[in-house]
Homo-oligomer: A and B are copies of this chain.
Amino acid sequence: MQISSRFSVAIHVLSLLALQQEDDVLLTSERMAGSVNTNPVVIRRILGQLKKAGLVEVRPASGGTFLTRTPADISLLEVYRAVEVVEEGQLFSVHDKPNPKCPVGRNIQSALDDTLQQAQQAMEQVLAGVTLHHVTTDIQQKAITMC
């Protein structure tokens, strides 16, 4: 089972916001959906989560969405948490009712917990070390003109 593409879509959307120029036409959910190639409602749902996390400011009605921070101040881990692809500390699901009468069943959960937490944290630390700025810089190296 994979981690939802909401995460990559969120990064895509934030990249568009980071790279938008002042003289650009406003980025509406419609236009962002065009770049991601999905439905505008999918974008709005994700924008709602990013707004809730305080990463973006959305202007209803007139359109237009803006970052509340510099791209260099937004880590991918924050984005990951914002779109709630995985609840905190729950990357691995563990079978929840092992037989308490069996020594293995009784102790397997605590025996695994530590390792699984570490594995998850190792993954998240990589995301914590990469910012939106890194992503947009990479994109810019390959292309200049915007949507």
A122 to B103: give the CA distance in the assembly, Å.
Answer: 31
Q: Are A108 and B4 within 8 A (Cβ)?
A: no
Q: How many residues of A contact B (CB 8 A)?
A: 62
Copies of this protein chain in the complex: 2
Q: Are B36 and A1 within 8 A (Cβ)?
A: no
Judge if A62 is at the interface, Cβ distance under 8 Å: no
A95 to B12: give the CA distance in the assembly, Å.
Answer: 10
Q: Which residues of A from 119 to 136 have beta carbons under 8 Å from B? A: 119-120, 122-127, 130, 134-135
Whether A102 contacts B3 in the complex (CB less than 8 A), given A12-B108, A125-B122, comes out as: no
Judge if A11 is at the interface, Cβ distance under 8 Å: yes
Q: Are B144 and A103 within 8 A (Cβ)?
A: yes
Judge if A61 is at the interface, Cβ distance under 8 Å: no
Judge if A91 is at the interface, Cβ distance under 8 Å: yes
Instruction: Write out the residue numbers on chain B whose beta carbons fall within 8 Å of the beta carbon of A11.
Output: 108, 112
Judge if A72 is at the interface, Cβ distance under 8 Å: no
Q: Are A107 and B34 within 8 A (Cβ)?
A: no
Q: Are B91 and A16 within 8 A (Cβ)?
A: no
Judge if A21 is at the interface, Cβ distance under 8 Å: no
Judge if A41 is at the interface, Cβ distance under 8 Å: no
Identify which of B5, B138, B147 contacts A95 (C-beta below 8 A).
B5
Instruction: Write out the residue numbers on chain B whose beta carbons fall within 8 Å of the beta carbon of A95.
Output: 5, 8-9, 12, 36-38
